[in-house]
Amino acid sequence: MDGVQLYMGWRVALLGLASLQMLVLAVAIAGQAANARANRLLSAFLIVLAGVITPYTIGFAGAYDAWRWLTFAPFALPLALPPLLFGYTHALVKGRRPERFWIHLSLSGLQLAYFATCFALPLTTKWDWYTGGHARFVRPVFELALLASLGIYAAMSLRCLRDYRRDLAQARSDDDRYATNWLTRVIVALVGVLAIYAGFTLWDWLSGGIDYFQETGLYLALVAIGLYLGVEGWRHAAVRFPVPILPTLIDPATGPDWSTIAATFDARLREADWARDADLSLPVLARRLATNTGRLSRAINQGLGRNFSTWINGVRAETVAAQIDAGSNDDLLNLAFDAGFSSKASFNRAFHARFGVSPSRYRRGVSDHDFQARDDELRRIVG
């Protein structure tokens, strides 16, 4: 089409640069050996997202006006994004892809086949179908499928992360290290984009059609989420996320006195100072106590009424409190690390849960005799 020139505006620059960055991140993440299955799925997600952005990047530049034969070019496969994100989440925390993962990608496979078939049509036929049957029937079906898929897979991913954190707290004392809060934020942000996308879809249907420029905010939000996920995924690409193997509790509920057994385990833990081990896990402690993981887990849950992480970090918090009570002037964070905590956040959280106040406020109450704290602020929470 003579006389049509490409326009390199700020939208093209932003979306194009963001797509290039996502592709670079995808290559970097795919090259990490640790968590290889999860890393490959994240790389695929970033590549597909860059493809989803591509029609809008070149569309803002006027490429479809210059070369109408690009219509139906299979750049964008948005139906692949939700299952790929779920697959990444599942592989990251469980060490394997979901069962029969190819089924999850089947809709995006059909979408690819449809676009590839339409792209191969003669130009006149293709354009008539694009402005006719595709716009009236096929596109709305794809949009509804994407909305449903985003909602379903977001819920599945969040449930997967919730179960992982619960199981990890039953098996490790450093569970905060693998909390995957960044991934939760990505999924929640995608749910927000889902709401925005639904609004744009409704607007499109009610108004009879909107153009690319009115959807600029939506795609800028998508690339922002994609870049955040890519950067965080790259930062965690070499981290081996532990897969908690929970014990099978076969002891009858009417069996041993779990309170007495738990008290014995607790006394031995404190006497040997094993809680100072930052990587302490349920299997490791069970070996040291010469018992099995099932018996130890049952004692913790039924005898102490808490999970493994809460128990160990509570003991660590008491160790720090004892140092403060003895007049130690060492930095609180140094005391925390010496007690076995792996981060400042986990220390503050566990200390507040154990004593009802922050570590600094506890120290102030011990060292400053003029400090008037409420009676309940310096209590030791029992149970």
The first and second tokens of residue 311, run together, are: 């128990």
Residue 380 predicted with pLDDT over 60: no
Q: CA 114, CA 231: separation in Å to the nearest integer?
A: 33
Residue 107 predicted with pLDDT over 90: yes
Could you give the dihedral angle defined by the CA atoms of residues 342, 343, 345 and 348, in that order, rounded to the nearest 10 degrees? 70
CB 152 within 8 A of CB 115: no
What's the whole-number mean pLDDT along residues 60-67?
A: 91
3-state secondary structure of 172: strand
What's the whole-number mean pLDDT along residues 328-357?
A: 93
- Neighbouring residues of 44: CB distance < 8 A, sequence distance ≥ 6: 26, 80, 84
Q: CA 371, CA 99: separation in Å to the nearest integer?
A: 59
Q: What is the pLDDT of residues 276-294, one digit of tens each?
A: 999 999 999 999 999 999 8
Classify burial at 256, counting beta carbons within 10 Å of its beta carbon; exposed 0-12, middle 13-18, buried 19 or more: middle
Confidence of residue 381 (pLDDT cuts 50, 70, 90): very low
Residue 39 predicted with pLDDT over 70: yes
DSSP conformational letter for 31: T
Q: CA 115, CA 135: separation in Å to the nearest integer?
A: 13
- Better-predicted residue by pLDDT, 222 or 250: 222
Q: CA 6, CA 23: separation in Å to the nearest integer?
A: 23
Residue 2: predicted pLDDT = 52
Residue 117: predicted pLDDT = 97
Residue 248: predicted pLDDT = 59
Classify burial at 210, counting beta carbons within 10 Å of its beta carbon; exposed 0-12, middle 13-18, buried 19 or more: middle
Residue 253: predicted pLDDT = 52
Among 182, 268, 194, residue whose Cα is nearest residue 232: 182
Amino acid at 302: Q
Residue 277: predicted pLDDT = 94
What's the whole-number mean pLDDT along residues 47-73?
A: 93
CA end-to-end span of the chain, whole Å?
A: 77
DSSP E strand boundaries for 51-91: none
Task: Record the pTM.
Answer: 0.84
What's the whole-number mean pLDDT along residues 173-183?
A: 87
Residue 249: predicted pLDDT = 53
pLDDT above 70: percentage of residues in the chain: 91
Q: CA 192, CA 217: separation in Å to the nearest integer?
A: 13
Classify burial at 217, counting beta carbons within 10 Å of its beta carbon; exposed 0-12, middle 13-18, buried 19 or more: exposed
Neighbouring C-beta atoms of residue 60, cutoff 10 Å: 24
Residue 201 predicted with pLDDT over 80: no
What's the whole-number mean pLDDT along residues 7-23?
A: 94
Amino acid at 291: T
Residue 379: predicted pLDDT = 41
Q: What is the pLDDT of residues 293-329, one digit of tens each?
A: 989 999 999 999 999 999 999 999 999 999 999 998 8
What's the whole-number mean pLDDT along residues 145-151?
A: 92
Q: What are phi and psi of 216, to 5 degrees?
A: -55, -45
What's the whole-number mean pLDDT along residues 18-37?
A: 93
Residue 64 predicted with pLDDT over 70: yes
Q: CA 295, CA 315: separation in Å to the nearest integer?
A: 20
Q: Mean pLDDT across the chain, nearest whole number?
A: 88
Residue 4 predicted with pLDDT over 70: no
What's the whole-number mean pLDDT along residues 48-53?
A: 95
Nearest 5°: CA angle at 344, between 339 and 349?
90
Q: What are phi and psi of 197, to 5 degrees?
A: -60, -40
Q: What is the pLDDT of residues 355-372, one digit of tens each?
A: 999 999 999 887 665 444
